[in-house]
Amino acid sequence: MELGNIQSTIENSIATLVFHHPASNSLPSSLLKDLTKRIHEFGEDDTVKVIVLKSEGEKVFCAGASFDELLTINDKETGVQFFMGFANLINAMRMCSKLIIGCVQGKVVGGGVGIVAACDYAVATQTASIKLSEFFIGIGAFVIEPAVTRKIGKAAFCQLSMEASEWHSAEWAQDKNLYAKVLPSYIDMQEEAEKLASQLSSYNPEALKEMKKVFWDTTENWGVLLEERARISGDLVLSDFTKDALTKFKK
């Protein structure tokens, strides 16, 4: 439980992935690797037509990178490998042949925003406000930027990045197209996601597969691009500024 866990089920051609970490659903390397592996597995499973991605709890969908793990990074390659965890997950979601529906029941920070952006469709509750706090700790949202910008546009990404200490409401995120729908309650969100997943699972799987390719057209360079971004973050996480900021935050 200290490292978090992932639960997965398949029912009626719908695969459901639920991740959890006691530190506000933050994502250490182990969880990132496991999520990536399961996305790959479901993508290759002919019994699966749609994937639903969730997290446990009600207040926070994902707090982004694990600050505890960031504090242990003492060399560039270790830092690069950590941020490659987010790069690999986003690329797995991008290349997965199955459509992915995200259920966002609470606040989303940093890398979590990138994961939501990598979903093909996301529904959220009114409490699902978002924030890119990377500048606040001395780095930047480099790895997730392509996914986030693809959804909300460069101007909105710039705003999120520069207003690093500010929360932006779920309605703001919907207006910028990060969320397709914002529902008044957790139950309403769940029902909306289940309804859409059920509809999609009844469609021609080949049509869904081909449309997924259309959705992600022109992203073929992301394998190289996200690795380059991970190297930038791997450098910055070693800075005294970042180490001090993470230590102060932890205290």
List of long-range contacts for 2-8, beta carbons under 8 Å, 24+ apart: 3/28, 3/30, 3/31, 4/28, 4/30, 4/31, 6/31, 6/34, 6/35, 6/38, 8/38, 8/42
105 in any annotated domain: yes
Q: Average pLDDT of 175-184?
A: 98
pLDDT the model gives residue 246: 86
Beta strand segments in the chain, E: 5-11, 14-20, 50-55, 60-62, 99-104, 107-109, 121-125, 130-131, 181-183
Q: Which CATH number covers residue 185?
A: 3.90.226.10
pLDDT the model gives residue 58: 87
180 in any annotated domain: yes
Residue 1 clears pLDDT 50, i.e. is over it: no
What would you measure as the largest C-alpha separation in the chain, in angstroms?
Answer: 53
Q: 39 in helix, strand or coil?
A: helix
pLDDT in tens, 154-171: 999 999 999 999 999 999
pLDDT in tens, 5-39: 999 999 999 999 999 999 999 999 999 999 999 99
pTM: 0.96
Query: Residues 33, 3: contact at Cβ < 8 Å?
Result: no
39 in any annotated domain: yes
250 in any annotated domain: no
How far apart are alpha carbons 50 and 188 in whole angstroms?
20
Q: Quote the tokens at residue 111.
A: 């890398």
236 in any annotated domain: no
- Look at residues 151, 158, 78, 159 and name the one whose alpha carbon lies nearest to residue 114: 151
16 in any annotated domain: yes
List of long-range contacts for 165-171, beta carbons under 8 Å, 24+ apart: 165/131, 165/133, 165/136, 166/131, 167/107, 167/129, 167/130, 167/131, 168/129, 168/130, 168/131, 169/129, 170/104, 170/124, 170/125, 170/126, 170/127, 170/128, 170/129, 170/130, 171/126
189 in any annotated domain: yes
- Look at residues 35, 1, 22, 184 and name the one whose alpha carbon lies nearest to residue 105: 184
Structural domain count, the chain: 1
58 in any annotated domain: yes
Q: What is the extent of the structural domain holding 23?
A: 5-201
pLDDT the model gives residue 2: 60
